[in-house]
A and B are shown apart, each in its own frame.
Chain A
Amino acid sequence: MKLAYWMYAGPAHIGTLRVASSFKNVHAIMHAPLGDDYFNVMRSMLERERDFTPVTASIVDRHVLARGSQEKVVENITRKDKEERPDLIVLTPTCTSSILQEDLQNFVDRASTESDSDVILADVNHYRVNELQAADRTLEQVVRFYIEKTRKKNNLDLTKTTKPSANIIGIFTLGFHNQHDCREIKRLLNDLKIEINEVIPEGGNVTNLKNLPKAWFNIVPYREVGLMTANYLEKEFNMPYVSITPMGLVDTADCIREISKIVNRDYENYIDQQTRFVSQAAWFSRSIDCQNLTGKKAVVFGDATHAASMTKILAREMGIHVSCAGTYCKHDADWFREQVQGFCDEVLITDDHTQVGDMIARVEPAAIFGTQMERHIGKRLDIPCGVISAPVHIQNFPLGYRPFLGFEGTNQIADLVYNSFTLGMEDHLLTIFGGHDNKEVITRSLSTTDGLEWSVDALGELNRIPGFVRGKIKRNTEKYARQQNIHLITAEVMYAAKEAAGA
């Protein structure tokens, strides 16, 4: 048992659901108790989804505990098949079904004979893998299923496209700025005159998965999701893949060079033009603004992809001193260490937010680049924080165009970094000179209290009212008391005033 207040990565089934609901016309059915379908809330609220999230639960209740799911799961699958006619139904186990040890594969086999949809059981173990690992696994599983299905029918067409083309693998729902990143990668490939074959899983059709081998190569922008799929395709079809995250100027250039090797074209001129004149980031790092940031201390924490890239950008491209870089992707610790080696003083691999908090308190950086958790740690310690990685809140699903990848991404990151530091500096100056408003406050309150007395209970009530409306409530109550000729304000008078004001 572990005492836990907060977790960076969610449970396995969330990863499976994120992949399943990113595909078009795929429905996931969770084998779970009532209330475990909060994934729908997250997707509907954070992503502001217009469509109903294609996830339902086959509810595990007392009866299921006593007698097993029996026909229930099969019925729920066949019912969904009739209602929505999905291409694929993914039966998703949860922590509950892991312990019940029902033969879900058997249900899947039975249901697939009765339904027109394909049915698979997500092969993830709740107690062994987290959200990100499960997502990676499920994506590979779905791809493998459809490749093998086509192969069995002898329909697999392995001819490559005439022009160079790529698959983008790993863009999916609830991912950190994934939609914007996807647009930016598409733009980049377009500039490189490379066609886009398939984007999976976001917006992809499972029926098109058989076309994956037609592409010349695969791009896996994020370390966490898509590598397993890329490896599978490499092994099966000898497809090369590019897994350098095009985040920051240096890595974007490296990523493009990697592509140039595959398609055998020279992009050096393009890289140079973009770096020096289209993206503002290279110029920014030469400008005197950025000079002021030289040697400032920063701490980076997040998923492996974003934390590693961010560390390299800060240290290599902006001259900022990264005291500590860390990730909660413990399963990918070796890769992370290798990436940030030489770019930071120390490396922290942990999924315990108190350790991260303690580290930040010890290092006392001028700015933090982390997740929402680090933003709150920063708030408590009065250190500004730029959010660079999931887990995130609704404000990290901006409506405007905010990629982190590609050349436009470098501009966004420069803004983020610069704004975090100046805010910190401004704050510092303000405390030295005693704040914006140095005039002495003469009256604490705008209301006059002549002839009015507040009883102890009323004052207690008043204090319970949130600070930002307290003054208004106090004034309204006193106004009411004066009108009613009441001299002693009790809690009752307060509520009578509230009713009279109709608020």
Chain B
Amino acid sequence: MSTNLSETLTFECETGNYHTFCPISCVAWLYQKIEDSFFLVIGTKTCGYFLQNALGVMIFAEPRYAMAELEEGDISAQLNDYKELKRLCLQIKQDRNPSVIVWIGTCTTEIIKMDLEGMAPRLEAEISIPIVVARANGLDYAFTQGEDTVLAAMAHRCPGKTEKKNENKFLVENLFQFTKKPEAPVINHPPLVLFGSLPSPVVTQLTLELKKQGIRVDGWLPSQRYTDLPVLGEGVYVCGVNPFLSRTATTLMRRRKCKLIGAPFPIGPDGTRAWIEKICSVFDIKPNGLEEREAKIWQNLEDYLELVRGKSVFFMGDNLLEVSLARFLIRCGMIVYEIGIPYMDKRFQAAELSLLEKTCQEMDVPMPRIVEKPDNYNQIQRIRELQPDLAITGMAHANPLEARGISTKWSVEFTFAQIHGFSNSRDILELVTRPLRRNQSLEGLGWTKLVKSAL
């Protein structure tokens, strides 16, 4: 094993014939995150059927998203796009009265070159509701990258530093701060805005985690409400919480002149610590008690770690969380054979990649191969040869692999579960060990392979 130690990470690129969700799926979690929004997906029945089937039950809860279903007349330009969209948006305004309407452009709007970006400002002025345009289509992006396109578009809508808004609100908050017991010394540092959509309990947890180091979080992109988007501008530091947000990061740097803190992502106790340390180092703060905190979390995970140690994992790749998860699992004592990933931004993920490399060296395991745009057919052949203890894969392959005796975990669950910060490390392992625990309880029944043919 140690012969591989000197190696660095290898990157490969395959055919891109892999299974993933369409990026329009981001509306599923974003409409819930941004409470006063309405997401309008401008596409065909194919898009609608995907949302309906992939998001299952949520559709029945009067969701704040809908399809603008294109019909033959729209495709052949017999109908006027602008008029049609205006009609639908007015209806949405009347029925739901949202603070923002997000138009999700799809493959079809790309191909027929519907000028959504051009129409939005005109319509916005006419119906006086902000309209944000995001091109989350399957021609260009995979699954979670949909959120990236929406947040990148939203970054343009954040107020600038000169537009001083809600000063009173800050005053009131400050007053409250004085009445409260001082918990940690507040250090004077430049404003910090975090980007990435997380469930609000996780937002609270990460904010409190930084507060312990005396770091104040001035805002989140996205915020709970569209009307509370954070102030951006020169001198504002930004830091990402998810590995798939490279466009948002670029937009924040280039267009909003923010300074990007390139850190590993706060997934797993090792990642969370490295993330906080990096932010501290940028603000010249000496982190306090992090080492002990990380150690304590690891201690708490021991029962799960016993299960995973020495076991092997194969990531087929579909949601871009793969590198961070692999890094955490290697630290947990697992061996990762392959990290499949739809798209690898080596600049945005630089810190995460170097932490992965360092983790492999420290744990004395071979470096995994990173396969960008994987080919699922080839991957299945490799899984057959390697016989990993666990394949992390999409739902299209999970049942067929299980029937062939390969334990699987659906990758989509990692996108919807709470996996960030110290406290949620246990949740990641809860997911990873579930098939292993299931195997324990079914052991000895002799039913591992349930197909007649070989793999």
Contact = CB atoms under 8 A, between A and B. Distances in A.
Given A6-B59, A52-B380, A96-B111, A35 B397 contact: no
Nearest to A380: B60
Nearest to A50: B403
Contacts of B139: 33-34, 60-62, 65
Interface stretch (A141-149, A216-224, A359-367, A494-502): A494-502
B28 interface: no
Contacts of B75: 98-99, 127
Given A100-B111, A130-B45, A500-B300, 16 more contacts: A1-B70, A2-B67, A5-B59, A5-B63, A11-B44, A33-B22, A34-B139, A34-B141, A41-B54, A41-B394, A44-B396, A48-B399, A95-B44, A99-B112, A393-B56, A465-B201
B54 A61 contact: no
Contact of A3 (B66, B74, B138, B398): B66
A266 interface: no
A212 to B, nearest CB: 27
B67 A38 contact: no
B377 interface: yes
A441 to B, nearest CB: 28
A2 B92 CA distance: 12
Contacts of B107: 33, 60, 95-96
Contacts of B138: 32-36
Contacts of A95: 44-46, 107-108
Contact of B49 (A10, A48, A498): A10
B204 interface: yes
A349 B59 CA distance: 22
Contact of B140 (A1, A42, A62, A99): A62
Interface in B415-440: 422-423, 426
A499 B292 CA distance: 14
A14 B48 CA distance: 13
Interface core residue of A35, A130, A373, A376 (most chain B CB under 10 Å):
A35
B395 A34 contact: no
A502 B426 CA distance: 7
A142 to B, nearest CB: 22
B54 A38 contact: yes
Nearest to A501: B300
Interface residues of B, number: 74
A35 B50 contact: yes
Interface string A434-473: 0000000000000000000000010001001100000000
A38 B68 CA distance: 20
A498 B423 contact: yes
Max chain A CB contacts within 10 Å: which of B53, B71, B72, B75? B53
A132 B130 CA distance: 39
B400 A44 contact: yes
A49 interface: yes
Interface in B61-93: 63, 66-72, 74-75, 79, 84-85, 87-88, 91-92
Nearest to A394: B56
A467 B63 CA distance: 21
Contacts of B79: 1
Contacts of B249: none
B328 interface: no
B52 A7 contact: yes
A244 to B, nearest CB: 31
Contacts of B200: 464
A34 B68 CA distance: 21
Nearest to B79: A1
A464 B224 CA distance: 13
A10 B201 CA distance: 37
Interface stretch (B12-20, B186-194, B345-353): B12-20
Interface of B: 16-17, 19-23, 42, 44-46, 48-50, 52-54, 56, 59-60, 63, 66-72, 74-75, 79, 84-85, 87-88, 91-92, 107-108, 110-112, 137-143, 183, 200-201, 204-205, 208, 296-297, 300, 303, 377, 380, 394-400, 403, 422-423, 426, 450-451
Contact of B201 (A37, A42, A393, A461): A461
Contact of B396 (A5, A10, A41, A127): A41
Interface of A: 1-7, 10-11, 13-14, 32-38, 40-42, 44-45, 48-53, 56-57, 59-62, 65, 76, 83, 94-96, 98-100, 126-128, 130, 373, 376, 379, 393, 457, 461, 464-465, 491-492, 495, 498-500, 502-503
Contacts of A499: 296-297, 300, 422-423
Nearest to B65: A5
A42 B21 CA distance: 12
Given A3-B68, A4-B67, A59 B52 contact: no
Q: What's the dominant secondary structure at chain A's contact region?
A: mixed
A60 to B, nearest CB: 7
Contacts of B49: 7, 10-11, 14
A61 B111 CA distance: 11
Given A1-B69, A38-B53, A11 B45 contact: yes
B137 A3 contact: no
B63 to A, nearest CB: 7
Contacts of B396: 37-38, 40-41, 44, 53
A98 B107 CA distance: 12
Contacts of B394: 41
B266 to A, nearest CB: 14
21 contacts: A1-B68, A1-B71, A2-B71, A3-B67, A4-B67, A5-B59, A34-B142, A36-B138, A38-B22, A40-B19, A41-B54, A44-B395, A45-B399, A62-B140, A95-B107, A127-B71, A379-B60, A464-B201, A495-B208, A495-B423, A503-B426
B399 A49 contact: yes
B141 to A, nearest CB: 8
Contacts of B201: 461, 464-465
Contacts of B74: 1
A6 B400 contact: no
Contact of B19 (A37, A98, A373): A37
Given A10-B45, A96-B107, A127-B71, A5 B399 contact: no
Contact of B17 (A2, A3, A45, A59): A59
Nearest to A64: B139
Q: Could you say which of B19, B21, B75 has the most chain A C-beta atoms within 10 Å of its C-beta?
A: B19
A126 to B, nearest CB: 7
Given A1-B88, A35-B143, A62-B140, A461 B204 contact: yes
Most chain A C-beta atoms within 10 Å of own C-beta, residue among B111, B141, B451: B111
Given A41-B396, A499-B422, A35 B68 contact: no
A32 to B, nearest CB: 8
A492 B184 CA distance: 12
Q: Which 3 A-B pairs have the closest CB atoms?
A: A35-B22, A33-B138, A40-B396
A171 to B, nearest CB: 21
